Structure 1
Amino acid sequence: MKKLLELIGFIALVQGVLGLVHEFTHWHVGFVQRLGLLDGYEVYASVALLVLAFALFAVAEGQGS
Structure 2
Amino acid sequence: MKKLLGILGFIALLQGAASLVNGFTDWNLGVVRRLDFLEGFELYAGVALLVLGIALLAAAESGKSG
TM-score of Structure 1 vs Structure 2, range by shorter chain: over 0.9
Aligned residues: 65
**Which runs of no fewer than 5 residues in structure 2 stay unpaired?**
none
Percent of aligned pairs with the same residue? 58
**Take 2:59 and 2:28, find their aligned partners in 1: how far apart are those partners?**
31
**Which runs of no fewer than 5 residues in structure 1 stay unpaired?**
none
Say what the alpha-carbon RMSD is for the aligned residues.
Answer: 0.7
The structure 1 segments of at least 4 consecutive aligned residues displaced by more than 6 Å after TM superposition are none
Matches within 5 A, 1:1-65: 1-65=1-65
What one-letter code is carried by the residue in structure 2 that aligns with 1:47? Answer: V
Output the TM-score relative to the length of structure 1.
0.95
Output the TM-score relative to the length of structure 2.
0.94
